Amino acid sequence: MKTQERIPKTRIERAAHIAGAGVKVGGNYMKHYAKKLVNADVSREELHKDNAGDIYETLSTLKGSALKVAQMMSMDRGILPREYQEKFQLSQYSAPPLSAPLVAQVFRKAFGQPPTAFFDDFTSKAVAAASIGQVHKARAKEKWLAVKIQYPGVANSIGSDLRMVKPFAVRLLNMNKNDIDNYFDEIEGKLLEETNYALELKRSMELSAACTHIKNLIFPQYYPKWSSDKIITMDWLDGLHLKEFLANNPSQEVRNRIGQALWDFYDFQIHILKTVHADPHPGNFLFLEDGTVNIFDFGCVKEIPDRFYTPYFRLVDRNIYKDSEKTGAIFRELELLHADDTDADIAFFTPLFKEMINMLTLPFTKETFDFGNETYFSGIYQFADKLIDMPEVRNSKKARGSRHSLYINRTYYGLYHILFDLKAVVNTGNRIFY
């Protein structure tokens, strides 16, 4: 993969790249409609493919929060067109890496010396590159290590980047501006945390230690002496990314074992620790043939406040819906409904939210759940399509849903989709958490 010699840092330079992408997208639309004049049957697939390629090329050059938004959107299957999803998935671990001189520059700034001063071996080329940083393989004596290096300048550009990519998100996700504004504030806060590698190192060590009792999970050891606010060093973990792992056709027993380990991992964090690894995309896991999972990268962690946790999980209880006053009160606590909503608003949104929650919480109501059930996931996608097509939802003047729901919902969506790809049957239990 071709390396990148520099990252645009100034606001003007980054804005110029975004504007350039906008010009390309506009040109793609003009070409598409010109073809439609000649052939009315021309599909939008080519348009989506061209737009996805142009947008991803720009975002992968900028890196940082701009590319992180693409990564987040790639996890929401059924919302983005397939062409965008496939292209944006590259941001999970296959973005263009930085060149060796830039990597050495980050080390010199942190430690006053290049990486070769600390390690007996250090790969000049990255072995993986994502939105916030890239990973190099190193060796200290007999120990193999993974060294994660943050891209220069990404922390300083978060706010301006999000403002620039917001129009793309509004258009691609077909969401109203109020929802986008509400959630982008939450995203900005989390991205600022993700660029704080000292905080990530602390959380990585604490959460790994808290979860070591969970079967079939492996966590690396972390090394503060080789880490800084822009560098994290940990044990090197072997394994395969999800697509590679599934290409080897693992047995159903192994799929189930992995699925159970991941379910237990998130179940314990959310319901016991109230602090959760909120970035469950496949690039953050490595899978082994014996059914164990390597887990790393605790950059995105969501702390769940009780005022959100309690009403959110009360909705698992189907009996709650028999009392419209209790249901309405919980929906208002979760900001799905608002105190100034009209009777018409309440009558419209309440059954929609009930339907959505019933689908998404179904695994919690069963002792075991088959995440390979395509009918279940098709229903979720169809419901998402229905929501997008409703003018009342698209044109709503209010954000519907607490900002805390963004990363909790994202965590469950990401987990569900990994379990779906695994076709895992999982003991989800029939427990009550409130």
Can you tell me which residue has the tokens 């917001």? 166
Q: What is the mean pLDDT of residues 354-372?
A: 93
**What is the rounded distance in angstroms from the CA atom of residue 349 to the CA atom of residue 320?**
17
pLDDT higher than threshold 50 for residue 432: no
All residues at 6 or more sequence positions from 174 whose CB lies less than 8 Å from its CB, including other chains: 388, 394
Cα distance between residue 294 and residue 112, in whole Å: 32
Q: Which amino acid is at 121?
A: D
Q: How far apart are CA 56 and CA 386, in angstroms?
A: 27
**How distant, in Å, are the alpha carbons of 13, 139, 231, 400 from that of 1?**
24, 23, 22, 42
Give the tens place of pLDDT for each residue, 195-221. Answer: 899 999 999 999 999 999 999 999 999
User: How far apart (Å, rounded) are the C-alpha atoms in residues 131 and 257?
Assistant: 30
pLDDT at 378 over 70: yes
For residue 173, count other CB atoms closer than 10 A to its CB. 16
Confidence of residue 399 (pLDDT cuts 50, 70, 90): confident
Burial 13-22 (b: 16+ CB within 10 A, else e): ebeebbeebb
**Phi-psi bin for 299: left (phi > 0), alpha (psi -120 to 50), beta?**
alpha
Q: What is the dihedral of CA 44, 49, 50, 53, to 10 degrees?
A: 160
Question: In the structure encoding, which two tokens stand for residue 222, read together?
Answer: 């972390």
State which amino acid sits at residue 150.
Answer: Q
DSSP state of 116: G
Cβ atoms of 373 and 363 closer than 8 Å: no
Provide the CB-side half-sphere exposure for 333 (13 A, CA). Answer: 17
Integer-rounded Cα Rg, in Å, for the chain is 22
Task: Report the DSSP pairing between strands 231-235 and 285-287.
Answer: unpaired
pLDDT in tens, 297-349: 898 899 999 999 999 999 998 888 889 999 999 999 999 999 999 999 999 99
Closest CA to 434 of 306, 275, 303: 306
**Helix, strand, coil percentages in the chain from 3-state DSSP, rounded to 5:** 60, 10, 30
291 falls in which pLDDT band (50, 70, 90)? very high
**CA–CA dist 128, 148 (Å, integer):** 9
Tens-digit pLDDT profile for residues 45-54: 666 676 666 6
Query: Smallest Cα–Cα separation from 197: which of 224, 223, 232?
Result: 232
Q: Which of 39-48, 63-72, 407-416 has the highest mean pLDDT?
A: 407-416
Percent of the chain with pLDDT over 90: 47
pTM: 0.80
Q: Rounded mean pLDDT of the chain?
A: 82
> Would you state the pLDDT for residue 42?
56
Q: Is residue 172 predicted with pLDDT exceeding 70?
A: no
pLDDT tens digits along 237-266: 999 999 999 999 999 999 999 999 999 999
What separation in angstroms does the CA of 7 have from each of 70, 72, 150, 208?
A: 17, 21, 12, 32
3-45 tens-digit pLDDT: 655 666 656 666 666 666 565 655 655 554 555 555 555 566 6
